[in-house]
Structure 1
Amino acid sequence: MVFQKNILIILLAVTILGVAVFSFGYLPKNSFAFGLKIGSQEIGGLSFKEAKTKLEGKVSEFLESKINFTFSSKDIIETIQATPKEIGVNFDIDGSLEGPFKLGKPSNNQGGVGPGLFFQNLKEKFFALQGKYNFPVKADISNNAFEEFLTEKFGKYEIYPKNAEPIFNEKKLDFKIQEPKEGLLFEREKIIEEIKGHAQGLNINDIHLALKKTLPAIDLKEAQNAKEIAKDILNNSPYLLLIEGRVFVINEKLLGNWFSFLPQKKGNQMKLSVSLDEVLIGDFLNEISDSVNIEPQNPVLSFQGGNLKIVAPPKSGKTLDIKESTKKIQEKILNKETKIILSLTKAEPDITGETIKELEIETLVGSGNSNFAGSPKNRVHNIKIGASKFNGVLIGPNEEFSFNKILGEVGPIQGYLPELVIKENKTIPEYGGGICQVSTTMFRSAVNSGMEILERHPHAFPVRYYNPQGFDATVYLPSPDLRFKNNTPGYILIQSKIEGTKLTFEFYGKDDKRKVVVKGPYITWAKADGSMGTKLYQEVWRNGKIILQKTFLSSYKSPKLYPVQRNPLD
């Protein structure tokens, strides 16, 4: 009886143990094994979502914690704090959890659970329960962010090694070898690995920075080899750049400054390659491009009788292909070929006879005028030349118009004569005097057409040619300028005309149902010495709503402050 009772007790114990072992082997299915840690954080028994939330919180705390970076030498000790976030530490939380989550569970590709897999799961869970699994958090660090931090905060202590390198001497037209020098640099890779190791355990530890002697990559022998190659190419000068019947000479002095020597790894050795600086070549080509390029020309248009007509056809142009020509120069000169044909690219005008309908120029948008009655002969001459520069100008939708850009150079070569201008608190003669009659008329036309004025400057004192005062615009190269934006949905065509002493600009474009209201200019104050202040209001309406509203304030000094000087150009 006693024996049977003992047998029952043993069987019951074995059954309970078996159930416990069986349960321990398979549970929990949707959570991490008990006792499992990631980054020293206990996540056993948590679901994937719960573990992720917990780990995200700990990671967030870690990223905002302070790390002490300390550099010390004989006479210097400096400590600077930075958060892991500031130096570019980042984490892959999902990736950190995926592997540990599978611990103690059958793999997804298993059709069933055999005894071997069961006991493997049991073993993994048992070890986890004993605290034998503490997985690292997957961490990385942005090299750019860390480099920026290290250079900004501690870069002053580093001495970069200097490679042996040929340096061109313009006077001797020869190369001198720069002696190599050792440097002192921080071991960046080692520091980064140390930070990553701490981050994987979510541990905040001090980082001690130490400088290490660093040898230059290029020695004297390698620099001498590069010098001989460059000298051989240089001695083959001059090199000739040929384009459209023109020749540009590259002499020794110019070429010598183009040489560039860059360390390159070939196999297990560092070599000094000989090349030509593409930026310097590009700068040279840009300088000569103005004398080479033939700009394309849009057709000259005129709006007559309600129709847009072509007065002069469009013309194609040619431009120097800077990128392709730079490549050719590098290849040919390095191969000691003395004649190099530069590359041209055909440039087409923006507008052709086929695309003229797309301009949507269909009506007069607005106009403005001014009267230059009483102007001296030279002033009238300059006004006519200046106004002609703007006849037929096209402004695209949302394009910015610059008066000075279209006007271009003003001088005797362009046909201008000397006439009075306001400059340096004086009224003095200069070539192009009277151009402000043109800019004032352009300003009035732009305001009356509802254009958005971006830049406008009144004259220093009231000028009788610009009555009514307050509706003028002064210009002078390179500044001040008159700028406005074409705020219509189509192109604007500018036409100029002079009838007697009246200059008019007409803006033709698309009818977008705008209504422009101009109020003033009103004199807000005036003094006996001729000084005054004015206000001018511009309103642009469409469908009963204001779409643009602007006030132009002008303050004029007394004309007596600007005495007229004798014309030294007569």
Structure 2
Amino acid sequence: MQATLPSRPQHPNPLALQLMRWFSTMALVAAIFLALTVAAAALFQLNYQGRIYPGVRAWGVDLSGMKPEEAALALTGAFTYPQNEAFILADGASTRTIRPADFGVTFDVGGTVAAAYNVGRSGNLLADWQAQFEAWHTGAQIAPIMTIDESRATAYLNSLAQEMYKPPLEAALRAEGVNVIAEPGAIGRQLQVETLRQTLFGYVRKVEKAAIQLPFTENAPLVLDASAQAEAARTILSQPLVLTVTNSTTGDGGPWSIPPEQLATMLRITRVQEGNSARFEVTLDANTLAAVLTPLAEPLRRQPQNARFIFNDETRLLEVIQPSIYGRELDVEGTINAINAALPKGEHTVPLVFRLQAPPVPDTMTGAELGITELVSAQYTSFKGSGVERLQNIQTAAARFHGLLVPPGAVFSFAENIGDISLDSGFAEALIIYGGRTIRGIGGGVCQVSTTLFRAVWFGGYPIVERNSHAYRVGYYEQNTGSWSGPGLDAAVFTPLVDFKFQNDTPYWLLMETYFYPNAGQLEWKFYSTSDGRQVQVSGPVVENIIPAPEPKYEENAELPTGTIKQVDFQADGADVTVTRIVTRDGVRINPNEQPLRTRYQPWQAIYQYGPGTEGIPTPTPTPDPNATPVP
């Protein structure tokens, strides 16, 4: 059995007791402080119920303790930014001031007061106490709230843009007679409305004033300056236009001058647009210029001319006696372009533009290249007894053919190649057959040349394309020349109606040479080419149906003096004459379809003229009429 010992009494620790008493005191103090704080807070809230907490300001106005309506009244009087001239708009040296209210800016006083009143009233107790304390301790600044009427702002800015809009102005250019008038263009501009809007709104949001350089978009006209074209037009009209022929020769004519007054009627000022740019072109009207130039085209046309040669019988080479000449044709379009290029530069003497055509045979061609290697035909006729004028015409006409070339296969025309027959071109008046009479006319004796050519063609075996005989037998052409004697081989020409033509039916070029021998009274015609082996046999002349010439006829001529008798026409018997030609090569006739050359010559009457009062004029015997009825 265990005994139970009585417990000893325990005494509290003095330090612990002291700490307990301290904590109790502190708890009591904290409780009292908390109670006081809550009571103070409740009293503070009660005091600022419906009022703005202390320390809250807007636009520098202290709103502490104010009711919202009191704050609104205070702010309305203090904040005048929308009505102030806050902005200076600069347009170069010109300025204008505007108010924010002008473009729809208003002060939202209710919103601003509400923002001030809501400081410390978020509903979060701790956050609100902190906000209230910070407002009281350091202050709370509320920015004024402003609203912008977008439609009013747009209308105001668009109106401003319309007021300040400047359209682009194009330069103008015109001519009044010979006076040229130029008006400069101007650059347009358009206000950048959206850029200005954003700039203004940015300053409004910061409630700031500013000087603003108005932003513009510049719009240049397509033609801003026409001064250069105006100067070109004035230059064009400053002097006459003179058209010339470069290296002109006799017969070219010109120069041709167009006065400024006429040029003014041709002046054309054209606006030419290329993409996003344009310019004025100053030219003379092409159609009007063409009307001036076109009549010049035909007189200035020149056919290309082959070089003229002679064949050197010793060296058997060709020698140039006349250089080749390029053909030309007036290039109307090219000349117009040249004129319009030259005149604006002040060049008023403008050469006509030609299209050139090279001749088939230039100076450099050789006999081997042309197939001219030997003499293939030579004939002469006699002109003994011809007068001075007839000799002059024979020599002049024959020279026109000296050195001429006939292409292979070509038909040669005497009339086309002899050119102009006139006193101005070297011919004289001599006897010709015209209208059934032998009379004096320009070019008498040219038929001696055509007849000599005909003989060279005939005995050379070339085809005759056209040949016309004289109306009556002419003694010059019946003289013995060795290869021919008698009638039937003459060739009359009367340009342009009566011609002589033949064809060079060989594959070689044919060179013609003519030689005038006045002392011997002969004209010789030579053909140089390459023989193709042809042989010519001529028979005749066969003269038939001879008709005697009529008795001479006597006519009074009032221009002749008394006692003077002059023969003006010569008698010749009429006859039918036939000449035959056979051309062969290697024994085969190559002209089987050629008909004999038949010529009918008319009987020709001798005619004498006498002056008035001349005695001893024979009286012709009347020719009996077999059909006359006897008179009873």
Looking at CA atoms only, which structure, 1 or 2, has the larger radius of gyration?
A: 2
Q: TM-score, normalised by structure 1?
A: 0.49
Q: TM-score, normalised by structure 2?
A: 0.45
